């Protein structure tokens, strides 16, 4: 699988490299005996930052708007019927995927269509699996409307470590299933709110790969 660095990581990787080089020079200048152990530590630390911002090329196996693909990597942590208060204001099926700091943190469009709604909300930084994180944490709500008229709500949620959510779509945009739509930095969660008649294709604690695993079938 081709390896790429997401654009959100360019500046952070540059800053991290400069800080680690400066730290290495400063410490080894006074304690040269630490040269090799410190070099290993710095390389490992930089490698962890690099892996966080990786953006693997993922081609959707079969483009189909009746299939809702996983918008991110992670583990399924919620499958339940809930009341969605922000946009639909009625009951929906919620599927949530928790992303640890070791997961790929690119977010992708689960379906093709038009962005009917896009709204950023500042908020708290509860742990991403907390029940109230979906409505109280920093978050962005995106609603996709497919050609058939079905609407899917996707919510990017910041976690206790994540402090910045990025999204690249706005209301009125035409989007393609599988293309990058945003990024969440350092541990977070993505919620999907689907019609009640959606056929769920996942189970609790299932490991998901964005653009490769199907979350649900819709009409």
Question: Catalytic positions, please?
Answer: 188
DSSP helix/strand/coil, 135: helix
Beta bridge partners of 193: 94, 153
SS (H, E, C) 26-71: HHHHHCHHHHHHHHHHHHHHHHHHHHHCECCCCCCCCCCCCEEECC
Task: Give 110: exposed, middle or buried? Use CB within 10 Å, 0-12, 13-18, 19+.
Answer: buried
Residues near 131 by beta carbon (within 8 Å), at least 6 away in sequence:
none
Distance of alpha carbon 212 from alpha carbon 168, whole angstroms? 21
Q: How far is CA 141 from CA 6, 77, 156, 162, 198, in A?
A: 22, 19, 7, 16, 20
Question: Cα angle vertex 197, ends 192, 199, to 5°?
Answer: 70
Question: Distance from first CA to last CA of the chain, Å, rounded?
Answer: 32
């Amino acid at each position: 699988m081709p390896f790429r660095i997401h654009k959100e990581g360019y500046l952070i990787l540059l800053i991290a490299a400069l800080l680690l080089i400066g730290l290495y020079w400063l410490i080894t200048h006074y304690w040269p005996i630490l040269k090799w152990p410190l070099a290993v530590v710095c390389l490992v630390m930089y490698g962890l930052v690099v892996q966080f911002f990786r953006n693997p090329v993922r081609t959707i196996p079969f483009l189909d708007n009746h299939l809702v693909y996983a918008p991110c990597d992670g583990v399924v942590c919620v499958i339940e019927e809930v009341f969605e208060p922000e946009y639909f204001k009625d009951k929906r099926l919620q599927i949530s995927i928790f992303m640890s700091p070791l997961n790929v943190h690119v977010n992708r469009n689960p379906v093709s269509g038009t962005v009917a709604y896009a709204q950023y909300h500042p908020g708290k930084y509860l742990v991403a699996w907390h029940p109230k994180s979906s409505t109280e944490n920093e978050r962005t709500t995106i609603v996709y409307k497919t050609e058939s008229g079905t609407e899917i709500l996707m919510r990017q949620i910041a976690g206790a470590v994540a402090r910045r959510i990025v999204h690249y779509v706005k209301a009125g945009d035409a989007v393609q299933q599988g293309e990058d739509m945003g990024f969440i930095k350092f541990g977070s969660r993505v919620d999907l709110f689907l019609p009640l008649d959606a056929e769920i294709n996942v189970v609790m604690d299932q490991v998901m790969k964005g653009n490769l695993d199907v979350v649900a079938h819709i009409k």
